[in-house]
A and B are shown apart, each in its own frame.
Chain A
Amino acid sequence: MNHSIFSLLALLLCLSGCAVTAKHSEPQPVRSTASAVGDNFANVPVEKANDPLLRFNRTVFGLNDSFNNYAVRPFARGYAVVVPLPVRNGIANFFDNLQFPVRFVNSVLQGKLTRSAQETGKFVINSTAGVGGLIRVSDHISGLANVPAEDFGLTLGVWGIPAGPYLVVPILGPSDCRDLVGFVGDYAISPLDWHTLGIIHCAYISNAASIALSATRYVNGLPKAIEAYDQLKSEAVDPYIAMRDAYLSYRAAQMKK
């Protein structure tokens, strides 16, 4: 129930965001100057991000920042004390392995059949030799290492759907219209959510257990996430822009893989 409300909310947020006209300025070519070594770099214009909801986004960014400071960080520190790093890494690997259907389905949807076969190989090997996915054995096998992870946001991009405006989502953080739709799509493909979505009915797995698994995955990722967030903030002169550029550049690079 809660999940369907969230999905609806996500879609509404996205649709309202997408209704805003996208303004994209193409980067101009680098003008070469011979005045000094490397001087031509300074002429590269700043690429304008597609962020028409800037004021709204900055507000949400500020709210998320408070949430991180007063709720997430103390909790994440406590969790990190109780659960040591090697265990957290193992749990993260376990959940990453479980997300295999998401990567497999999206590889197929993008027509990347070799990649979908690699994902299957990774899943089989990490689930068996990697003790149920706790250890990333596949990273040491050439041909199975360095397989770019696909998701539905990337699939939509490959299908030619534009990213739309940049969005900062409450609690979840940076996204854009396309990735928010992708997030909902991947939610349906993720095995962790099959039960709550009514895809499988198993007498031994209750709704509560399914939600508990998702919660474990979220909580386990918090210490790393908050560490990364603090790192970004401590280095940035404008954390909002730093995060926006990092998100958009990272997703653009993923699209090219």
Chain B
Amino acid sequence: MFTDLFHRILKSALVPLVLGSVGLSNAASVDDPAAMLRSSTDEVLSIAYSGHGNETLVARVRPLLEKTFAFDVVTRQAMGPGWRQFSAADQKRVTELFTELVIRTYSSRVVGTQRPKITYGAPVELAPDRREIPTRVSNSSGTEPFAVVYRLIKFPAGWRIYDVLIEGVSFVANYRAQFDEIIQNGGAPAVIRTLETKLAAPADSHS
């Protein structure tokens, strides 16, 4: 059971690849979140598997992720109710730092993973401007497939991702739980300090 959990968490290693796969929204997909997820999958998978070195991957995926994610919404959610007490300047700084953390997470996970096969489920309406799209990710190595659910929000410019759930574990809820105590003890300055320390550490640090 315990190692099973580790395996499940590991499966999430493939997910950012899938996140990246929804990068390029085009005019046809502005009103259709499912089309947005589907249409750009191959394009970004192609970038990830173009044979270029991993060291440039962060730079190459950044523009795609900035078009794909509602980073301001993601950050606000990850901070929880404490966000309201942040000053405008702190909110801006936290958004910058947290966005950087998410983008780095993405690129570190792409490294060494296999090109996955993605099966899409039907979108579920959460609210008039929000949808949930279940997917199933499998890879060619013959290990057990896993469930990834995307939550999208509609902006004037199109649909953007605001949360991803891997086997039931919400990306933003996980960070919200982590930041809760930090915000209660030290407010926005503690959050900024924590994120700056995290980003200053080497990407492969285990400490």
Contact = CB atoms under 8 A, between A and B. Distances in A.
A89 B141 contact: yes
Given A41-B76, A46-B81, A86-B141, A253 B10 contact: no
B79 to A, nearest CB: 7
A231 B10 contact: yes
B10 A242 contact: no
| Size bracket, chain B contacts | 35 or more
B9 A41 contact: no
Tell me which of B8, B141, B143 has the highest count of chain A C-beta atoms within 10 A of its own C-beta: B143
Contact of B142 (A39, A136, A179): A136
Interface string B140-181: 011111000000010100000010010111100111111111
Given A44-B80, A250-B8, A250-B168, A241 B3 contact: no
Interface of B is mostly: helix
Nearest to B184: A46
Interface of A is mostly: helix
B174 A245 contact: yes
B13 A233 contact: no
Contacts of A175: 1-2
A237 B194 contact: yes
Tell me which of B70, B81, B142, B167 has the highest count of chain A C-beta atoms within 10 A of its own C-beta: B142
Contact of B174 (A45, A246, A256): A246
| Size bracket, chain A contacts | 35 or more
Interface of B: 1-10, 12-13, 70, 72-73, 76-77, 79-81, 83-84, 101, 105, 108-109, 129, 136, 138, 141-145, 153, 155, 162, 165, 167-170, 173-182, 194-195, 198, 203-206
Interface of A: 37-39, 41-47, 49, 69, 73, 85-86, 89-90, 92-93, 96, 135-136, 139, 145-146, 149, 151, 153, 169, 172-175, 179, 182-183, 186, 218, 221, 224-225, 227-238, 241-242, 244-247, 249-250, 252-254, 256
22 contacts: A38-B70, A39-B76, A41-B162, A44-B81, A46-B80, A47-B173, A89-B143, A139-B145, A146-B145, A169-B2, A218-B3, A221-B6, A228-B6, A229-B9, A230-B206, A234-B204, A237-B178, A249-B169, A249-B174, A252-B168, A253-B167, A253-B169
